[in-house]
Chains A and B, each alone.
Chain A
Amino acid sequence: MLRICDLSKVYGRTVVLRGLNLELKDGIYCFFGPNGSGKTTLLRIISGFEKPSCGRVFFEGKEITGLSPQRIVKMGIAIAFQLPRVFWNLDVEQNIFLACMDKKKVKEVVKTFRLEEDVKTIAKKLSQGKIKLLQISMSYATNPRLLLLDEPFAGLDVGNVRLLIEILKELVGKKSMIITSHRPKLLRGIANKFFEIRGGKIAGSYENPT
């Protein structure tokens, strides 16, 4: 599904990714590691929000390196950022509608992400947890074959973490996902494989991290 060849990213003198090689089949993958290890940069490169310094990215056999984010979304990869990016002055329904342009799909997504009560609420009036859910639901609504979730649990309280885990469990087998997290344990029973990133390289891969 996703193939990454010799991917590197340099910001000034800082090397964030060093010749990363990876081949992923359909499934759910968790990338974990310390701050600055390159997790977010990797997702931003795959989704087209960053251009790699060198290396190539292939999705379902087609090269997507350097394509615009809009193009990549249309090819079937969607991203939900760590810091939520939503349409703040539009309501939840409009936010999700913009991602799929299909009213039936909006109802389905709203149900999946437990946003039924907030359908007509303006995004800026939602709680932090709901905003996070809204953003993930928007990415999901684009009907991607690969969903990239950058630190989905960051900034969430226990209740919302539980709710998100519950939703992710429902998506197992339905969507391929790459999830970055500081807390890989939360993804036990969800992710098929765990990759540890350190210093811009894959430091190890595990079926079940301890």
Chain B
Amino acid sequence: MEKILEVKNICKTYQAENGEIESLRNISFDVNRGEFISIIGPSGCGKSTLLSIIAGLENKTSGEIYINGKIGYMLQKDNLLEWRTIYKNVLLGLEIQKSNTPENRKYVEELLKKYELYEFKDKYPTQLSGGMRQRVALIRTLAIKPSILLLDEAFSALDYQTRLMVTEDIYKILKNENITALMVTHDISEAISMSDRVIVLSHRPATVKKIYSIDFEMENRTPLNCREKPKFSEYFNLMWKQLEEIK
């Protein structure tokens, strides 16, 4: 299988005024094309830092990262710019990367049409619901045609109901567009419901505690329908115990 992302022995130590904080220790894992990988771990263990390092927003202390292609990044909040229309918001990434070309605009318009946002393209973000806004944020990220998508607690700002619907939506979009994804979350069931593999991190300094392969042995798996499988609670209990042990 083709590797999209290779993370090798990543270490991160912060320098703060009151001393050094070791955040990450020897983190290594691979992500293959088309996979959906989740990272879970106790809060404050450095999950988001790891993602920021992979995206190049933060410096690593040591280790190596290989990325095959472009990175897309989705944050907790949709961060739509309220002074721009939906269409202009979606074009932001292309504008910044100076690739706002007619072909790319056409691609974006197709995405908007496909995911039922085209008729809202001249509206402003405040006129859209939370779920729709998250979808717009995803399309903004997809517009730059990333080969891997990093999701940093991307759904935790939404209320539970919307969240279930949005994960379902986004999962389908990602599978549809054949996008590889790496998601950080603190929600065990969200991780199980979406992922092919789940990486469990330990307390600070975070190390890779265990990597679980998730397989429901079903066709057309979606985050919602796999929750009904008995295997779902098995996986849940396994990971729950693992996280309890870490404590």
Partners in one complex: no
